[in-house]
Copies of this chain bind each other. A is one copy, B any other.
Amino acid sequence: MLQAEIFRERIDREIAALRLTREPQELYDPIEYVLSNGGKKARPVLALMACKLFSDDTEKALPAALAVEIFHNFTLVHDDIMDDAPLRRNKPTVHEKWGSNVGILSGDAMMVMAYQQLAQCAPEHLGEVLHVFNTAALHVCEGQQMDMNFQDREQVSIAEYVRMIELKTSTLLAASLKMGAILGGASDEQAELLWEFGRNIGIAFQLQDDILDLYGEEGKFGKKVGGDIVAGKKTFLMLKALELANGALESELAILVSDQSRNAEVQVAETRQIFNELNVKELALAEVRKYHDEGMSHLEALAVDTSKKKLLKHMAEQLLNREI
């Protein structure tokens, strides 16, 4: 079995072992539902991989790995309430199934459960790990708020957008890696390199997500192609197009963005047409490549055997080579 697969199974086993029958059931049933809902477990696997760079005893990173996984799932529960999303991984969301109040409260309890895991880290690293985790956790909230703000704003710069996805998505990947490294015994400097690796790969990953939404294979990601356009989302593609469009294209795009009443397929097709004329997909791919390369340069700078880095390198490539 591949090492990544072994790690994933280890995480799955631990998550399954969490599922005690606890009271009140109304609080814990949704938590069990969310945590058994599949998912790639990318964050905890990254934590274990980062630990393995510095120590063969990856069990040391398990509490932090579980903490990020539970925390990530908590953010999905609350984000889905805020976005009023009916489905997550093709299943009804918690608030859809049990109501908003249960969604809020189960999410809160999951956040506490994440910290319960974290509390089990080795005492000599606990303070530092807690600090890294808290930083990332607050960034996730800040990123989500920025994301909500952007929906109401007319103008959003690409720099602001990248900052938003950095806070909302990539800091937690960065933190997973850094905590794993710390628990494996890495120096501050080495742990920081892994943070930067994760931060850049995370941005690349999210930008690619934007591309896949429009150029990915239908149904492959459980979403309709062009969903971001129909939802009026300000993605990298859209912001780049708005930045580049002039004259007739600019007016056309403005109409497509503001008029959400038209047929969704037509809206997607016409927007894609404009994106193609402006070469937006290629510009986005170049951006993905830029952050990918920047991330990899930090991985390369790590003072560990090149052979040991293969796992993380492969994992990053896997995250990024999803069908474009």
Interface positions of A (Cβ within 8 A of B): 23-24, 26-27, 78, 81-82, 100-102, 104-105, 107-109, 111-113, 115-116, 118-119, 123, 126-127, 130-131, 134, 137-138, 141-142, 144-146, 148-149
Q: Evaluate contact between A127 and B134: CB separation under 8 angstroms.
A: no
Number of copies: 2
Expressed in whole angstroms, the Cα–Cα distance for A134 and B297 within the complex equals 39
Q: Evaluate contact between B131 and A105: CB separation under 8 angstroms.
A: no
Q: What are the residues of chain B within 8 A of A127 when measuring CB–CB?
A: 119, 123, 126
Q: What are the residues of chain B within 8 A of A134 when measuring CB–CB?
A: 112, 115-116, 119
Q: What are the residues of chain B within 8 A of A111 when measuring CB–CB?
A: 108, 111-112
Expressed in whole angstroms, the Cα–Cα distance for A32 and B94 within the complex equals 30
Expressed in whole angstroms, the Cα–Cα distance for A259 and B108 within the complex equals 34
The majority secondary structure among interface residues of chain A is: helix
Q: Evaluate contact between A119 and B130: CB separation under 8 angstroms.
A: yes
Expressed in whole angstroms, the Cα–Cα distance for A38 and B208 within the complex equals 47
Q: Evaluate contact between B26 and A108: CB separation under 8 angstroms.
A: no
CB distance from A182 to the nearest CB of B (A): 14
CB distance from A50 to the nearest CB of B (A): 21
Q: Evaluate contact between A138 and B112: CB separation under 8 angstroms.
A: yes
**Which of B24, B116, B123, B131 touches A142 (beta carbons < 8 Å)?**
B24
Expressed in whole angstroms, the Cα–Cα distance for A116 and B134 within the complex equals 6
Q: What are the residues of chain B within 8 A of A116 when measuring CB–CB?
A: 134, 138
Q: When A142-B24, A142-B27 are in contact, do A82 and B104 touch as well, CB less than 8 Å?
A: yes
Q: Evaluate contact between B105 and A82: CB separation under 8 angstroms.
A: yes
Expressed in whole angstroms, the Cα–Cα distance for A263 and B126 within the complex equals 57
CB distance from A121 to the nearest CB of B (A): 9
Considering the complex, give the chain B residue whose CB is closest to the CB of A78.
B104
Q: What are the residues of chain B within 8 A of A82 when measuring CB–CB?
A: 101, 104-105
**Which of B27, B78, B130 touches A105 (beta carbons < 8 Å)?**
B78
What would 19 more interface pairs be, CB under 8 Å, given A112-B134, A119-B130? Answer: A24-B145, A24-B146, A24-B149, A27-B145, A78-B104, A78-B105, A82-B101, A100-B100, A107-B108, A109-B142, A111-B111, A115-B115, A115-B134, A115-B137, A119-B131, A123-B123, A123-B127, A126-B126, A130-B130
